[in-house]
Amino acid sequence: MDSLSFDTSSKKSKILYTSLALVGIICVVGTIALTSSNSSSPGLQQFQLEVEEFNHFLARHNKLYSTAEEYARRFKVFRDNSAFIRIHNSQAGSWVLKANQFADVSFAEFKSLYLGTKAQAHYTKRVAEENNVVIPDAIDWREAGAVTKVKNQGICGGCWAFSTTGAVEGAWFLANHTLVSLSEQELIDCSRSYGNEGCNGGLMDYGFEFVIQNGLTTEKHYKYTGRDGICNQTKVANVSATISGYVDVTPNNSTALLAALTHGPVSVGVQADQAAWQFYGGGVIDKSCGTNLDHGVLVVGFNRTTVPAYYIVKNSWGPSWGEDGYIRIAIKEGKGLCGIQMMPSYPIVNK
């Protein structure tokens, strides 16, 4: 669920990028010039600044469009999104937005390309009350070395696989093993019989069921392609981590999720088809962002010493998104902001 990026490393690609960008600018700027009698008007000057900002955006995120028409269309989307971001950031709030890699992507495209949790199929048979757990003021499993680097799922709706591997990576490490980066591609290619649908979505619990039966190999051994593939049985046989079970945490209960986080990172579903997620730039989201779960992420900690208290959430849209790939979400009661407390679960590794 990440940006529409293209390779501009070759000389040929760079020439194509430059020529198309120039054609796109001429097409769009030319239209305004025909309707403006004053070439130095504030409107045209602002437009020229936006063109320059857009081209910096393209270079920063290594993007390339195949036609001048596509350039012009993406530029319009970028302008609209940038205006929305400026309006949001001009208002006092606990979080800010930024023109990240999704700034040239419309809301409809973002929702269809980068989200993919099938929340409606969630298991309910392994609920745990998490009784008698002493909950500290703060936990950050990154500091304990239980969290791998932020990954990037691209335009594959495989968020559920990244949440699954993140939880297994943490549980495996905390059971006195070495931290290893596990293969999302194995889950995408091989766990369909468990209920997942590859790049068309899935569920973390289904991923855990697969790992219980098969284990997981490393990301290095079974590389991520960002698209559906045929299960490679040879690679699957090289198991690097296993789990013995998993727990579905009591839903809609902040205390239960906080207690679960004392064991390690926890997989959760959220509603992420919101501007707060698409353009998140930093700070603590403290207002409602929906409860129609459509994205799988990983809670790696929390902090209750601040106002507002917040969860620390690892996403899979690359480190250029959010706070180096992370987002902070305020701790609230009930379903939680963005539905974060609706379906938490975590794997168990026998020590």
pLDDT tens by residue, 76-127: 999 999 999 999 999 978 999 999 999 999 988 988 888 877 655 444 455 5
Residues 1, 115 contacting (CB under 8 angstroms): yes
Q: For position 213, what pLDDT does the model report?
A: 96
Catalytic residue among 122, 199, 315, 338: 315
Of residues 207, 102, 98, 227, the one with CA closest to residue 155:
227
Determine what percent of the chain is predicted with pLDDT higher than 70. 84
* pLDDT tens, residue by residue, 87-101: 999 997 899 999 999
- The answer to whether residue 75 scores a pLDDT higher than 50 is yes
Q: In this structure, are 121 and 260 located in the same domain?
A: yes
- Of 144 and 49, the structure prediction assigns the larger pLDDT to 144
Specify the pLDDT at position 126.
56
**Considering 156, 289, 295, 338, which one is annotated as catalytic?**
295
**Residue 159 a catalytic site member:** yes
Query: Is 273 inside any structural domain?
Result: yes
Cis peptide before 136 (omega within 30 of 0): no
Residues of the chain with pLDDT > 90, as a percent, come to: 75
Task: Kindly state the average pLDDT of the residues 37-64.
Answer: 81
Q: Are residues 129 and 207 in the same domain?
A: yes
Looking at the fold, whether 21 and 69 belong to one and the same domain comes out as yes
Same domain, 88 and 113: no
Residue of 156, 159, 190, 289 with catalytic role? 159
Burial 95-111 (b: 16+ CB within 10 A, else e): bebebbbbbbbbbeebb
Q: Are residues 284 and 158 in the same domain?
A: yes
Query: Is residue 288 in a domain?
Result: yes
Tell me if 48 is assigned to some domain.
yes
In a domain, 6, yes or no: no
Q: Residues near 15 by Cβ (< 8 Å), separated by ≥ 6?
A: none
Verify that 75 and 125 share a domain, yes or no.
no
Listed residues 63, 92, 121: the one ending a domain: 92
Tell me the whole-structure pTM to 2 decimals. Answer: 0.85
**Mean pLDDT across the chain:** 86
Among 59, 92, 125, which residue terminates a domain? 92
Of 43, 60, 92, which residue is a domain's last?
92
CA angle 154, 57, 36 (to 5 degrees): 130
| Dist. CA 24–CA 73, nearest whole Å | 9
Q: Would you say residue 74 lies in a domain?
A: yes
Q: Do the bridges between strand 127-128 and strand 245-249 make them parallel or antiparallel, or are there none, so unpaired?
A: parallel
Kindly state whether residues 190 and 269 are assigned to the same domain.
Answer: yes
Render pLDDT for 299-324 as a digit per residue (tens, 0 to 9).
Answer: 999 999 999 999 999 999 999 999 99
Compute φ and ψ for 336, nearest 5 degrees: 85, 160
Q: In this predicted model, what pLDDT tens digit does every residue of 175-204 receive, in sequence order?
A: 999 999 999 999 999 999 999 999 999 999
Residue 166 lies inside a defined structural domain of this protein: yes
Question: How many domains does the chain fold into?
Answer: 2
**Pure H helices in 3-91:** 11-35, 42-60, 68-90
Question: Do residue 144 and residue 231 come from a single domain?
Answer: yes
Domain identity same for 198 and 340: yes
Helices (H) and strands (E) in the chain, counts: 10, 10
CATH number at residue 287: 3.90.70.10
Tell whether 179 and 318 lie within a shared domain: yes
Q: What is the pLDDT of residue 310?
A: 98
- Would 220 be classed as within a structural domain? yes
Q: What are 345's strand-pairing partners?
A: 248, 267
CB 183 within 8 A of CB 165: yes
User: Is 221 one of the catalytic residues?
Assistant: no
Q: Is the pLDDT reported for residue 348 higher than 70?
A: yes
**117 and 211, same domain (yes or no):** yes
Specify if 15 maps to a domain.
Answer: yes
Place of tokens 């579903």: 269
d(CA 174, CA 146): 7
Token representation of residue 294 = 């459509």
206 in the same domain as 68? no
C-alpha–C-alpha distance, residues 43 and 32, integer Å: 9
Give the residue numbers spanning the domain of 299. 108-348
pLDDT tier for residue 339 given thresholds of 50, 70 and 90: very high
Q: Is 315 a catalytic residue?
A: yes
Cα 292 from Cα 269, distance rounded (Å): 9
Question: pLDDT tens-digit profile of 252-305?
Answer: 999 999 999 999 999 999 999 999 999 999 999 999 899 999 999 999 999 999
Residue of 2 and 295 predicted with greater confidence? 295
